[in-house]
Amino acid sequence: MILFMFSAAVFANISISNSVQKDTISGIIYVDQENHIYIEVKHPVHQIFTFRGDTLLLYYPDDKKAFLFSEFNPMELPVSRVLLGSGKEFDLSTYGFRFLKKKSNGDTTLSYWKKEKSGTVVLKTLKNKLIEILILHHGKEAGKTTYSDYKEGKGLHLPSRIHSQINTKNGILTEDVTFTDVRFLDAFPDSLKHIKIPKDVEVKGW
């Protein structure tokens, strides 16, 4: 499965706010069809995320710390779930989900996927654009993500507003992701594919 169905690359400013943290996370993101992801958080803490294949590198330049996560599931990275909305195909089998069924009503399609201990995921698309992901545990709604305000360019589309909510014992947790200054590029910058960590920075593996 190709999670990001881009023939080129996309750049955007990214802003993430949620009901837990007071500060809004802000930075920039690049992503392409080969699952290269580069995120640089500029506020509140300077962080760099790079992702390729199943490996995630988290680097704190100011603190001279870095962490390498192998066998990382990209669906655990919030922006990956967000950018799933840019796909032309919504296949979750690579991430351990089993396809159950599909229902269509006019331009709207519901696709049902199931994974042990993770419940059922329902993808709702309208005219081939993802507009909602619903997570069900034991038949009850455990969380939901909605996608809106799509931006288009070079034959591609990107949801620039995403709202997520998770139902917990202590109430509902929410998260909002916004992309601004969206640009569709010809290619992912080569300089960002392989970030070099200074030799005096210890890289811890997980």
Which of these, 144, 148, 94, lies nearest to 121 by C-alpha position?
144
Interval 191-206 mean pLDDT: 84
Entry pTM: 0.75
Q: Quick check: is 186 in a domain?
A: yes
Determine which of 5-9, 23-27, 39-43, 130-134 has the lowest per-residue pLDDT on average.
5-9
CA gap 108, 130 in Å, rounded: 10
Q: Quick check: is 46 in a domain?
A: yes
CA gap 46, 31 in Å, rounded: 19
Tell me which residue range forms the domain holding 37: 9-205
Where are any strands of DSSP class E within 86-192?
A: 98-105, 108-115, 119-126, 129-137, 140-153, 156-168, 171-185
Q: Quick check: is 1 in a domain?
A: no
The confidence band for 31, taking pLDDT boundaries of 50, 70 and 90, is confident
Are 127 and 75 in contact, with CB atoms under 8 Å apart?
no
Q: Quick check: is 104 in a domain?
A: yes
Interval 6-35 mean pLDDT: 78
Higher pLDDT, 116 or 46: 46
Interval 33-37 mean pLDDT: 69
CA angle 141, 144, 145 (to 5 degrees): 170
pLDDT at residue 186 in the model: 80
Q: What is the chain's length?
A: 206
Q: What is the CA radius of gyration of the chain?
A: 17
Q: Quick check: is 2 in a domain?
A: no
CA gap 159, 67 in Å, rounded: 30
CA gap 64, 204 in Å, rounded: 12
List, for residues 143-174, the tens digit of each pLDDT value.
Answer: 898 999 988 877 667 789 989 898 888 889 89
Q: Quick check: is 95 in a domain?
A: yes
Interval 67-90 mean pLDDT: 61
User: What's the domain count of the chain?
Assistant: 1
Q: What is the CATH number of the domain that holds 97?
A: 2.50.20.10
pLDDT at residue 6 in the model: 38
Q: Is 78 helix (H, G, I), strand (E, B) or coil?
A: helix
